[in-house]
C-alpha cells in the first residue's frame, strides 16, 4: 500500500480561522502598517474626506471578505481610480467640493450595481478579451496623471486648475509660492521612498517605508511648527465630529450624460484592475488557488455599493497589498478580514493622529506609487513580450491622455485589432473562430483551430472546451493558424486550473511552422510564408535535439509540445512566487522496484516560471525531474544546496535540520520540513553519505512525490544524464535495494 503525505490546501471558513488565525492576523497587521498611509493618500488625491479611504478598507475587510472567493487578495482603494473620482468631484460640484463629493458617492454606488450585474451575467469573460497591454496602458495613463497632479502639492503649491496639461504649463509660474519648510518635508519624503525601495534590508519589510515617511513628516511638522504658522493649511483636516465621518450620497444628478460616463468608467476600470491584480496574486499563491473572475467582480461591486453609501472611495483587489499579504505568509481570506478590522480599530481609537500629518507626505507617497505604473522597466518588459504588445500599450497611453479612460480603452482595442490585421488576420476571424473537435477515446480530445487564434475570439474556444468531459487531455492544434496571439495563449493557460485542478491538461501542438515575434516564450506567433511542413512532422530546435539525445539513450519518446499542466507540480516550493506557465520537452522513464514490485515514474521536463509582464526579466526556464507513484512514505521536505536559495527558504517558515554526525552534509545543505522526526528517519546513513558525495542537485518532497532539479535554469545534456543517474541511485537507497541492470523500463509521458 502506498502511504500518502497529502498536500493540504488551507481550509476555508471557520475551520481556516481556527487553524490559521495567527498567520493571517500577523500578516494583516504587517499589511495594515503598509496600507494605511496609502489609503489616506488616495483619499487626499481624490479630494474626498481623508477618512473615506479608511471606510473603503473597513468595508472591504469586514464585509466583502465573506462574499469574495479570492483567498489572499486585499481589498483597498485604488490609485487607478483617483483621476476619475477627482474629476467627478470637481465637474459635478462645479467647484464646490462638498457637493461634488456627495454626487460622486452616488456614482460609486451605481457603478457598484453595474459591476454586480456584470458578475451575475458572467460579463467578466468579455472584459477578458482586452489584452493585458491595454490594462497596463490605462494604469500607466492614470499614473502619469496622478504624478503631474501631485507635483504642485509636493512643493506646497496650490494648483489653479484640475486640467493635467494646465497644471504642467502653470507650474513654472508658481515656483515663487513655494513654502520652503513644506517643500523640504515633501522632497525628503520622496527621496526616502525611492531610496529605500532599492535597498534590500531586513528592517524595511518589517517597518514599511510609507509609514516611516509619515512618522518622519509628523516629527518635521512639529519641528517647523506648522500648526502654529500660516502653513497649518498643509496639515490634514479631520471631520469635526464622529457623526461627520459618515456621508450619504446625493442621487440628484445621476441621470446626466456626464454622470453616466463616470459610472461606466469607474465600473470598467475597477473591474479590469481587479481582474489583472487578482490574476497576478493567484500566480504567487503557493497553493495555486484560482479566483472566480465573475464572483470577484460581483464582490467588488457590492463593496462599492456599501462603501459609496457610507462615504467611501471605490475599491479594487489591490496587487501591492495582496502581494505583501502573500509574502507575509497569510493562508486564508481571513487576513483580509483582520486587515479591515485593524483599520476600523484605528478609525475608532487613533484617527486624531492623522491631523498631524503634512499633506505633502501623502503627495510623496502618491507620486511614488504613480511612478511605478509607468516606470521605464515596464516599457522594457512589455517590449520583451513583443513589439505588438508595446504598440497596443503606447496607443492606449496616448489615447488615454488625449481623451480619458474610455478613449484609452477604445484606442488600445483598435490598436490591438490593427496589429491582428497587420499580421494577416481576416476581419471575420477577429471575433469568430473556426474550431473542429475530434475525440480519440479515453477522455482525449483534439481541438483544431482552423483560422486565427486571437484573444478576441478566445470565447469560442472556451465554449467548445466547456462541452468536453472534465479531467481529460486536450490537444490544441495550431497547425493551420496564421496567427497565434500572446493574449490567447495567456487566456488558454488558465484552463487547466479552472477545468480540473488534479487531472486536466492542455497540450499545444502545431508550432513547428510558426515564427515568434520576440524571444518571450509565449510571444505572438505567425505562420511562415513558405512553410514546408504540411504533414506537421516534428522539426526539433537546438534545445529539443539536446533533450532528444538523452531521451533516446533511455529508450523514451520525446514530447516537445507545450503543455499547460503546471497544476501537477502543485505543492513544491521551488516555484514559490511564480506561475508555472507550461512544461515542454518531456520524456519519462520507469524505475522498477524489485522489492515493492511497482514502477516509479521519472518524468523529465523543461518548465517556464513566469512573474507576468511587469517582471518579465525575472522569469526562468528550469529543468526538473518529477518522481511519482512512489511505494514508500516520503515526508514533506526541501533539501537545497547551502547559500543558493537561502532567501527563498527563509520565507517557508521552519528551521534548518542538521545532523551532527554528518557535518559535511549540514554544511552544504539546507534541509527543512515540518515533521522533523519523520525527516530524520527518512535521511538514513546511506542517504546522507550519498548526498555528501553528490552535491549537484536540490530535492523536494510533497504529497509523496519528489522533485529533483539543479538550479533555476535549464540543464544541458550531460547534466540531464547526471540527474537521471543521481535519481536512480537515490531511489535504490530509499528503497533499500540494488536493482539489477536491465530491469528498468521506459514509458512515454501522457
Of 557, 556, 574, 558, the C-alpha closest to 566 is 574
pLDDT of 744? 44
- Split at pLDDT 50, 70, 90, the class of 687 is very high
- If you average pLDDT over residues 310-315, what whole number do you get? 95
Domain edge (last residue) among 423, 439, 455: 423
pLDDT of 232? 60
- If you average pLDDT over residues 656-682, what whole number do you get? 87
Q: Which domain holds residue 490?
A: 428-539
Asked if 112 and 332 touch (Cβ cutoff 8 Å), the reply is no
Domain edge (last residue) among 504, 539, 574: 539
Residue 181 lies in a domain: yes
- If you average pLDDT over residues 270-296, what whole number do you get? 85
Q: Are residues 315 and 411 in the same domain?
A: no
Residue 566 lies in a domain: yes
Residue 73 lies in a domain: yes
pLDDT of 650? 43
Q: Are strands 315-318 and 74-77 parallel, antiparallel or unpaired?
A: antiparallel
Q: Give the residue, 648 or 55, on which the prediction is more confident.
A: 55
Q: Are residues 493 and 473 in the same domain?
A: yes
Residue 741 has pLDDT above 50, yes or no: no
Cα separation, 549 vs 544, in Å, equals 9
pLDDT of 2? 36
If one counts every other C-beta atom within 10 angstroms of the C-beta of residue 562, the result is: 24
Q: Are residues 499 and 621 in the same domain?
A: no
Q: Give the residue, 709 or 13, on which the prediction is more confident.
A: 709
Residue 130 lies in a domain: yes
Q: What 8-state DSSP symbol labels residue 553?
A: H
Q: Are residues 529 and 573 in the same domain?
A: no
Side-chain-side CA neighbours of residue 533 (13 Å):
15
Domain edge (last residue) among 483, 511, 539: 539
Residue 671 has pLDDT above 50, yes or no: yes
pLDDT of 647? 41
Q: Are residues 278 and 303 in the same domain?
A: yes
Which residues have CB under 8 Å from 479's CB, separation 6+? 448, 509, 510, 513, 536
| Residue 201: Cβ-neighbour burial (10 angstroms; 0-12, 13-18, 19+) | exposed
Work out how many domains the chain is built from and give that number.
4
Residue 462 has pLDDT above 90, yes or no: no
Q: Are residues 587 and 726 in the same domain?
A: yes
The β-bridge partners of 438 are: 446
Residue 389 lies in a domain: yes
Cα separation, 238 vs 255, in Å, equals 32
Q: Are residues 355 and 367 in the same domain?
A: yes
Q: Are residues 384 and 349 in the same domain?
A: no
C-alpha cell at 440: 480519440
Cα separation, 107 vs 438, in Å, equals 49
Residue 281 lies in a domain: yes
Residue 5 has pLDDT above 50, yes or no: no
Asked if 600 and 672 touch (Cβ cutoff 8 Å), the reply is no
pLDDT tens digits, one per residue of 657-669: 888 888 888 888 8
- If you average pLDDT over residues 201-221, what whole number do you get? 76
Residue 1 has pLDDT above 50, yes or no: no
Q: Give the residue, 287 or 617, on which the prediction is more confident.
A: 287
Residue 52 has pLDDT above 90, yes or no: yes
Residue 7 lies in a domain: no
Q: What is the mean pLDDT of the chain?
A: 85
Lowest mean pLDDT among 227-236, 362-371, 481-490, 716-725: 227-236
Q: Are residues 405 and 482 in the same domain?
A: no
Q: Are strands 444-449 and 473-477 parallel, antiparallel or unpaired?
A: parallel
pLDDT tens digits, one per residue of 89-138: 999 988 788 899 999 999 999 999 999 999 999 888 788 788 889 999 99
Which residues have CB under 8 Å from 332's CB, separation 6+? 10, 11, 12, 16, 17, 20, 24, 71, 72
- Split at pLDDT 50, 70, 90, the class of 470 is confident
Lowest mean pLDDT among 28-42, 652-666, 733-747: 733-747
Lowest mean pLDDT among 556-565, 571-580, 663-672, 710-719: 571-580
Q: Are residues 405 and 454 in the same domain?
A: no
C-alpha cell at 628: 511519482
pTM, full prediction: 0.83
Where helices occur in 69-179 by DSSP H, the ranges are 82-93, 97-120, 124-127, 132-154, 164-170
Q: 441-463 burial string, b = 16+ CB within 10 Å, else e?
A: eeeebbbbbebbbbbbbbbebbe
If one counts every other C-beta atom within 10 angstroms of the C-beta of residue 212, the result is: 18
Residue 2 lies in a domain: no
> Collapsing DSSP states into helix, strand and coil, what is residue 739?
coil
Q: Are residues 349 and 438 in the same domain?
A: no
pLDDT tens digits, one per residue of 243-282: 668 889 999 989 899 999 999 999 999 999 998 888 888 8
pLDDT of 397? 96
pLDDT tens digits, one per residue of 407-432: 999 999 999 999 999 998 888 888 88
Of 748, 635, 617, 643, the C-alpha closest to 695 is 643
Q: Are residues 441 and 315 in the same domain?
A: no
pLDDT of 749? 43
Cα separation, 362 vs 217, in Å, equals 10
Amino acid at each position: 500500500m502506498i502511504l500518502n503525505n497529502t498536500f493540504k490546501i488551507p481550509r476555508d471558513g471557520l475551520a481556516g480561522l481556527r487553524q490559521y488565525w495567527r498567520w493571517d492576523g500577523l500578516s494583516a497587521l504587517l499589511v495594515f502598517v503598509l496600507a494605511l498611509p496609502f489609503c489616506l493618500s488616495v483619499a487626499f488625491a481624490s479630494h474626498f474626506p481623508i477618512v473615506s479611504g479608511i471606510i473603503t478598507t473597513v468595508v472591504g475587510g469586514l464585509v466583502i471578505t465573506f462574499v469574495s472567493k479570492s483567498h489572499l487578495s486585499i481589498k483597498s482603494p485604488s490609485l487607478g481610480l483617483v483621476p476619475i473620482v477627482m474629476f467627478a468631484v470637481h465637474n459635478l460640484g462645479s467647484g464646490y467640493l462638498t457637493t461634488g463629493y456627495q454626487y460622486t458617492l452616488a456614482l460609486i454606488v451605481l457603478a457598484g450595481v453595474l459591476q454586480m450585474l456584470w458578475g451575475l451575467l458572467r460579463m467578466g469573460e468579455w472584459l477578458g478579451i482586452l489584452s493585458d497591454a491595454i490594462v497596463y496602458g490605462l494604469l500607466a495613463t492614470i499614473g502619469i496623471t496622478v504624478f503631474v497632479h501631485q507635483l504642485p502639492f509636493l512643493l506646497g503649491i496650490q494648483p489653479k486648475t484640475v486640467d493635467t496639461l494646465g497644471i504642467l504649463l502653470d507650474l513654472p509660474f508658481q515656483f515663487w509660492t513655494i513654502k520652503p519648510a513644506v517643500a523640504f518635508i515633501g522632497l525628503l519624503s520622496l527621496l526616502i521612498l525611492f531610496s529605500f525601495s532599492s535597498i534590500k534590508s531586513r528592517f524595511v519589510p518589517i517597518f514599511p517605508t510609507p509609514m516611516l515617511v509619515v512618522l518622519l513628516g509628523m516629527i518635521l511638522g512639529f519641528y517647523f511648527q506648522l500648526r502654529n504658522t500660516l502653513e497649518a493649511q498643509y496639515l490634514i483636516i479631520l471631520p469635526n465630529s464622529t457623526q461627520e465621518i459618515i456621508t450619504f450620497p446625493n442621487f440628484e444628478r445621476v441621470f446626466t450624460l456626464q454622470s453616466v460616463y463616470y459610472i461606466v468608467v469607474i465600473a470598467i476600470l475597477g473591474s479590469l484592475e481587479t481582474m489583472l491584480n487578482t490574476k497576478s496574486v493567484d500566480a504567487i499563491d503557493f497553493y495555486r488557488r484560482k479566483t472566480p473572475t465573475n464572483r470577484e467582480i460581483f464582490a467588488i461591486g457590492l463593496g462599492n455599493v456599501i462603501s459609496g453609501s457610507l462615504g467611501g472611495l471605490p475599491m479594487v483587489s489591490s496587487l501591492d497589498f495582496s502581494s505583501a499579504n502573500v509574502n507575509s505568509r497569510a493562508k486564508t481570506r481571513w487576513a483580509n478580514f483582520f486587515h479591515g478590522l485593524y483599520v476600523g480599530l484605528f478609525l475608532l481609537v487613533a484617527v486624531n493622529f492623522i491631523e498631524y500629518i503634512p499633506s505633502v507626505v501623502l503627495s510623496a507617497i502618491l507620486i511614488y506609487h504613480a511612478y511605478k505604473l509607468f516606470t521605464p522597466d515596464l516599457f522594457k518588459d512589455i517590449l520583451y513580450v513583443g513589439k505588438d504588445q508595446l504598440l497596443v500599450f503606447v496607443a492606449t497611453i496616448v489615447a488615454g491622455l488625449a481623451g480619458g479612460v474610455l478613449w484609452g480603452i477604445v484606442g488600445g482595442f483598435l490598436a490591438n485589432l490593427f496589429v491582428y490585421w497587420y499580421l494577416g488576420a481576416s476581419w471575420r476571424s477577429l471575433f469568430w473562430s473556426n474550431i473542429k473537435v475530434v475525440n480519440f477515446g479515453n477522455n482525449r480530445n483534439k481541438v483544431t483551430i482552423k483560422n486565427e487564434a486571437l484573444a478576441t475570439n478566445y470565447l469560442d474556444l472556451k465554449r467548445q472546451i466547456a462541452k468536453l468531459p472534465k479531467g481529460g487531455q486536450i490537444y490544441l492544434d495550431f497547425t493551420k493558424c496564421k496567427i497565434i496571439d500572446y493574449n490567447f495563449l495567456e487566456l488558454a493557460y488558465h484552463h487547466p486550473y479552472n477545468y480540473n485542478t488534479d487531472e486536466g491538461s492542455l497540450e499545444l501542438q502545431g508550432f513547428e511552422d510558426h515564427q515568434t515575434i520576440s524571444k518571450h516564450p509565449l510571444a505572438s506567433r505567425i505562420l511562415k510564408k513558405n512553410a514546408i511542413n504540411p504533414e506537421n512532422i516534428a522539426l526539433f530546435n537546438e534545445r529539443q535535439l539536446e533533450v532528444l539525445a538523452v531521451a533516446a539513450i533511455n529508450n523514451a519518446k520525446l514530447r516537445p509540445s507545450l503543455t499547460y499542466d503546471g497544476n501537477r507540480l502543485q505543492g513544491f516550493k521551488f516555484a514559490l512566487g511564480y506561475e508555472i506557465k507550461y512544461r515542454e520537452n518531456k520524456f519519462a522513464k520507469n524505475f522498477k522496484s524489485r522489492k515493492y514490485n511497482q514502477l516509479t515514474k521519472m518524468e523529465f521536463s523543461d518548465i517556464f516560471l513566469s512573474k507576468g509582464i511587469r517582471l518579465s526579466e525575472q522569469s526562468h526556464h528550469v529543468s526538473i525531474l518529477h518522481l511519482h507513484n512512489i511505494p514508500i512514505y516520503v515526508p514533506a521536505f526541501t533539501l537545497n544546496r547551502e547559500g543558493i536559495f537561502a532567501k527563498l527558504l527563509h520565507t517557508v517558515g521552519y528551521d534548518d535540520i542538521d545532523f551532527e554526525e554528518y557535518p559535511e552534509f549540514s554544511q552544504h545543505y539546507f534541509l527543512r520540513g515540518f515533521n522533523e522526526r519523520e525527516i530524520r528517519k527518512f535521511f538514513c546513513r546511506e542517504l546522507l553519505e550519498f548526498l555528501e558525495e553528490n552535491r549537484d542537485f536540490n530535492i523536494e518532497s510533497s504529497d509523496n512525490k519528489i522533485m529533483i532539479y539543479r538550479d533555476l535554469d535549464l540543464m544541458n545534456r550531460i547534466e540531464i544524464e547526471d540527474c537521471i543517474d543521481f535519481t536512480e541511485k537515490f531511489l535504490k537507497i530509499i528503497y533499500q535495494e540494488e536493482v539489477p541492470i536491465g530491469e528498468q523500463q521506459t514509458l512515454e509521458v501522457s
